[in-house]
């Protein structure tokens, strides 16, 4: 775990010394917006940067439980988990974060972030938000993507409910092209880790990877001296919320991630490989450049992806 943090620091030092040479991955968010993704939990002295599509809803749930919010309340506002969380965790300023980083109290503040393979995350965003959108915003975005890529409106179903001849769902290639053409105001579900969390400023001491999630979370809990409520949760009866602020309810978190076997972080979701087959080599090269800093900072290897596009 320490090796991950050390690697990040080395990469950040290179960026500071030589500058960010990857134009496609340059910062696209305003500096004062970055900290809207930071959450400080004072009881456990945890500073977390939330990244969409990387167990963010699950950890919003956990932070709300630590704040004493009943499970029923959390479930009732599942569509706006971040809004509920912000009621208990104000947005920190840069000065707040700097103070927490240099705080000499014991135990020190544990800064952590959750990441996953950047391409897996990108494909997951497409599957969950474009193929199966749960809100009008993303249903409308499907039509917008179609219009931007092809210059014409997507067909819509007639009023009698008859399905259109051509599906209005953009292909993965269309979605990729749409994202790559845009350099401003990127959706947080596919914006880069570098833009969303400014990891070189946060300097996380714990980097949790979804590919090794259980092991990494166990390390975080030991470091923060937090116990799990898995053993006694179901027997808590009417006092189930009484000690919620002191427990980690990991057994209740629905973390949808691809676990690699035996600690192997090279195995990839079949869906990711299938979707990448829809891209040209040139498209994938551009997609990789968009997320290159994320690959570099968090030690993800893209060589197996590039191998998909090599001629036999």
User: What's residue 256's pLDDT?
Assistant: 52
Q: Which residues of 15-24 are buried (b: 16+ CB within 10 A; e: fewer)?
A: beeeeeeeee
- What residue spans define the domains of the chain? 1-308
Choose among 39, 91, 92: nearest CA to 61: 39
User: What's residue 52's pLDDT?
Assistant: 96
CB atoms within 10 A of CB 142: 20
User: What's residue 155's pLDDT?
Assistant: 63
Using alpha carbons only, give the angle 44, 45, 46 rounded to the nearest 5 degrees.
95
Global confidence as pTM: 0.84
3-state secondary structure of 113: strand
User: What's residue 165's pLDDT?
Assistant: 44
Tell me the CA end-to-end span of the chain in Å, nearest whole number: 38
- Tens of pLDDT, residue by residue, the chain (312 residues): 899 999 999 999 998 887 655 443 444 444 454 589 999 999 999 999 999 999 999 999 999 999 999 999 999 988 889 999 999 999 998 888 989 998 777 789 999 999 999 999 999 999 999 999 988 889 889 989 988 888 777 666 565 666 554 457 899 999 999 999 987 778 999 999 999 999 999 999 999 999 999 999 999 999 999 987 644 333 334 455 556 666 788 655 555 544 444 444 445 577 999 999 999 999 999 999 999 999 999 999 999 999 999 864
User: What's residue 184's pLDDT?
Assistant: 75
Write the CB contacts of 213 (distance below 8 Å, at least 6 apart in sequence): 55, 255, 257, 259
């Amino acid at each position: 775990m320490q090796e991950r943090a050390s690697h990040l620091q080395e990469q950040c030092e290179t960026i500071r010394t030589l500058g960010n040479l990857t134009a496609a991955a340059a910062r696209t968010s305003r500096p004062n917006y970055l900290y809207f993704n930071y959450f400080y939990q004072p009881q456990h002295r945890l500073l977390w940067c939330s990244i969409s599509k990387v167990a963010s809803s699950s950890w919003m749930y956990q932070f709300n439980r630590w704040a004493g919010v009943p499970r029923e309340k959390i479930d009732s506002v599942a569509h706006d988990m971040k809004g509920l969380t912000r009621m208990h965790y104000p947005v920190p300023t840069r000065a707040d974060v700097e103070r927490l980083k240099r705080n000499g109290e014991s135990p020190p503040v544990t800064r952590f972030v959750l990441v996953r393979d950047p391409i897996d995350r990108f494909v997951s965003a497409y599957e969950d938000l474009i193929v199966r959108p749960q809100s009008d915003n993303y249903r409308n975005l499907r039509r917008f993507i179609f219009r931007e890529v092809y210059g014409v409106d997507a067909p819509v179903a007639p009023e009698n409910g008859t399905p259109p001849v051509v599906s209005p769902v953009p292909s993965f290639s269309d979605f990729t092209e749409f994202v790559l053409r845009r350099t401003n105001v990127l959706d947080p579900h596919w914006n880069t880790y570098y833009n969303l969390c400014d990891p070189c400023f946060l300097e996380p001491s714990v980097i949790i990877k979804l590919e090794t999630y259980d092991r990494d979370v166990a390390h975080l809990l030991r470091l923060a001296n937090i116990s799990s409520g898995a053993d006694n949760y179901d027997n808590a009866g009417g006092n189930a919320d009484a000690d919620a602020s002191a427990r980690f309810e990991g057994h209740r978190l629905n973390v949808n991630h691809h676990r690699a076997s035996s600690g192997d972080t090279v195995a990839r979701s079949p869906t990711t490989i299938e979707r990448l087959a829809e891209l040209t080599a040139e498209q994938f090269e551009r997609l990789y450049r968009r997320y290159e800093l994320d690959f570099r900072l968090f030690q993800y290897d893209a060589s197996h992806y590039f191998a998909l596009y090599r001629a036999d």
